[in-house]
Homo-oligomer: A and B are copies of this chain.
Amino acid sequence: MIHRKRLELPRHIYPADQWKMVEKQFYPKLLGQTETIFSISNGYLGIRGVFEEGLPSFDNGTFINGFYESWPITYGEEAFGFAKTGQTIVNVTDSKIIKLYVDDEPFYLPTAKLLKFERTLDMKSGTLERDVVWELSSGKQVSIKSTRLVSFEHRHLAAISYTVTVLNAKAPVVITSEIINNGADNKTQKEEDPRRARRFEQKILQPELHYIKDTRLVLCHSTRNSKLSLAAGMEHKLETDCSFSYLSECSENKGKVQYMVDAKPGKPINLTKYIAYHTTRTAPHTSEELCNRAKRALSRARKFGFEDLLRGQKRYINEFWKKSDVKIMLNKSFSKFSTTEIQQAVRFNIFQICQATARVEGAGVPSKGLTGQAYEGHYFWDMEIYLLPFLTYTNPSIAKNLLTFRYSMLDKAREYAKRLNQKGAMFPWRTINGEEASAYYAAGTAQYHINADIMYALKKYVNTTGDYDFLYEYGAEMLVETARLWSDLGFYSKNKSGKFCIHGVTGPDEYNTVVNNNLYTNLMAQENLSFAINTVESMKKAKPDLFEDLVHKTKLKDSEIEEWKKASEKMYIPYDKKKKIHPQDDEFLNKEEWDFKNTPSDKYPLLLHFHPLVIYRHQVIKQADVVLALFLLNNKFTDEEISRNFDYYDPRTTGDSSLSVCIQSIVASKVGYMDKAVHYARNAALMDLADLGGNVNDGCHIASMGGTWMVFTFGFAGMKGNGGLLSFSPNLPSHIDKLRFPLTYRGNLIEIEIDQKNISYKLINGKKAVLLHDKKEITLTTAKPVIKRSLKFIKKD
């Protein structure tokens, strides 16, 4: 169920377009929302959709993935082992500002008379464009066009092409391009919403050095506590037939280049602004080197020009869509969606994942991507469970990067486990630098399942790519340490007939914390253990040398593997014989029912209106928990169990987390509740466009975007790949005529097309792909599709 108000796709703001998000009017009340929607990013650098003028703005933000400030976490009451140091992604130097003055009048949207306003996020070119015509009181009309991009090809680069044309008169035009360290954030108000980022009271970025030469400026700063360094620079080129002069100046925290142009009617004045960001996690004395890197990047950019960046952008994005686009053709409205609308919404979701992950190298994916500071820019489990499936099936090299990044944090995970008196390694619930930054352990540290989640993603990655080298070289070590953790954490309980029980953990559902035998956790831990066992055993045979290394690195003993086997075999799987369902945990079914009837919609999300104790006391669920297990580990349940569990848990699920509806849709599909599945699918796809959570101001819900992709592939197309060959049992809603999407599978690019009767398998690129259809292998060797009758579940509603 979704209990809160459901919003409509705001057509007046974003008219339907298959490949574009277009805003046709300036909506001052929607600043926060549109700043998020029109964010551009390449996964390394992200710039919120704030206007070039910098004002008006809801939350002017520029972020570098993994560039954070640390701060001591204070507790009203301390306890042993609590996380000590918070980490917050920094709102870095703002380099995008371009201010315009005509007849010395500043261009300022809220007061300007606009003859035209259009803003476009072009998902096929990877650019953000704005096209405005401004009429001054004098009657002079000025066209202002800008195109902004964060380069996919050159991860450190962004650029803006800014063209001003006084249409009907002569006028003095001044264009000021600025770069400024706003001091990150010095709002001191207390944040009541725990999901928003910490506000710092002091300037975080401390000046290191600054550089100016002609129209090229670089500011270098370093963070106060975390000691990270940053160089942000800009370079310019003005092209016009009008005469102009310029000046430039720079100090520690700001710089500008100002052009004074004598504009002639109809003659465009084009300024290209190149922006570069370079960061280092090493000591601050490399500022000079960073500065030089920024200078070189800017020179190169100016040399090749804006058109070159645009071409590169298109090249990248075309390639991206080839591997990732989900094509949907409707025959009737899909819960009020037209074909164009659904296409736009789904593509927006996929495009934002692209922006969040394209050039993530040596970092993770923050839960808001780089579209906002909420959740402190931390990496959570949603990276592995909600994003990695998409990446694994469309761009496995990025998936590999992210898993490698997790591996790089293994040593810290070992230390963390030790600090908590636990064996093996324990990955932090939320982090940037590998250290636990969760200040509320009940909905943080207690979520041990993240360890199994990462291993789950690893298994999916290996199975989908066949990349056993990665498994043996990096994966195995993580498997050993996480298996150790589980084996140490649980115990054999007499009260549960000697079964292996795991107590005092929190599952995905944060409305039921610190519970015993969370079904999801126990099942995922079992999966983790058996994957570890299989890996070390197969490795021992297949790669004895690497196995030797592993034993050397981890001091692995044979007896441990026996322990894992026992724990895995004896894992306690809660089951209620009366209700014939799997209890979410040992106590869940004993709790009082939540009074949904008398909870008005403005009391959602519950976490903002009820004390945790009140929530914890009830059978009320924030997000899919058992239902997530039904999806991820569907092979561990019978169809009847899936159906009964879904029937029980779905009405008790608020969907107060954005991680929920996508999973609810997928499982509804499996059960055959197609109306529900469609309804939830629409909610997932609209999470941000319709601001379903009411907080899109603070950034995109990237996990839900990954979930939206899963709704169409795992949900409607019934894709399955756990452990064996890829197969499909589509359950296409009657609204959809055709559903088509590409997949990268064991080195091949294939395309799946599903209609109400058939499923077609096509090899787009590669030599030979083997899949399962109706439990039989099919082999694709040419581009000629293999077409089969679709197998459907029996529908229940």
Contact = CB atoms under 8 A, between A and B. Distances in A.
A611 interface: yes
A249 to B, nearest CB: 40
Given A491-B592, A611-B421, A613-B420, A191 B444 contact: no
Listed residue (A80, A422, A495, A592) with the most chain B CB atoms within 10 angstroms of its CB: A80
A75 B441 contact: no
B74 A610 contact: no
Contact of A440 (B76, B80, B420, B586): B76
B73 A73 contact: no
Interface in A577-608: 586-587, 589-592, 607-608
Contacts of A72: 190
A613 B419 CA distance: 12
B612 A441 contact: yes
A499 B698 CA distance: 45
A77 B611 contact: no
Given A76-B439, A86-B76, A446 B495 contact: no
Interface string A498-514: 00010111000000001
Given A446-B613, A589-B495, A608-B80, A75 B421 contact: no
Contact of A516 (B194, B496, B590): B590
Interface in A513-549: 514, 516
Given A76-B74, A438-B77, A504-B617, A495 B590 contact: yes
Contacts of A163: none
Interface string A63-88: 00000000011111111111100100
B76 A613 contact: no
A11 interface: no
Contact of A80 (B74, B79, B80, B609): B609
Interface residues of A, number: 56
A503 B592 contact: yes
Nearest to A490: B592
Contact of A592 (B76, B443, B493): B493
Contacts of A75: 75-76, 194, 439-440
A330 interface: no
Interface in A76-113: 76-83, 86
A460 B176 CA distance: 79
Interface in A345-394: none
B194 A613 contact: no
Number of copies: 2
A590 B440 contact: no
A616 interface: yes
A139 to B, nearest CB: 53
Given A446-B613, A514-B616, A613-B441, A79 B607 contact: yes
A614 interface: yes
Contacts of A76: 73-75, 83, 86, 438-440
A420 B616 CA distance: 13
A78 B192 contact: yes
Contacts of A83: 76
B80 A611 contact: yes
Central interface residue in A83, A420, A501, A514, by most chain B CB within 10 Å = A514
Nearest to A516: B587
A129 B616 CA distance: 55
Nearest to A603: B421
A313 interface: no
Interface in A436-464: 438-446
A73 B76 CA distance: 6
Interface in A97-148: none
A489 to B, nearest CB: 8
A514 B514 contact: yes
A619 B78 CA distance: 23
Most buried by B among A75, A77, A446, A493: A77
A76 B85 CA distance: 10
A574 to B, nearest CB: 12
A187 to B, nearest CB: 15
B587 A194 contact: no
A592 B500 CA distance: 11
Nearest to A193: B78
| Shortest Cβ-Cβ A-B pairs, 8 listed | A76-B439, A81-B611, A504-B617, A77-B440, A491-B592, A73-B76, A78-B194, A503-B617
18 contacts: A72-B190, A76-B86, A76-B438, A76-B440, A77-B439, A78-B192, A80-B610, A80-B611, A420-B611, A421-B614, A441-B612, A442-B442, A445-B613, A495-B590, A503-B617, A504-B613, A586-B587, A587-B587
Given A73-B76, A75-B440, 7 more contacts: A75-B194, A77-B438, A77-B444, A78-B193, A80-B610, A441-B612, A501-B592
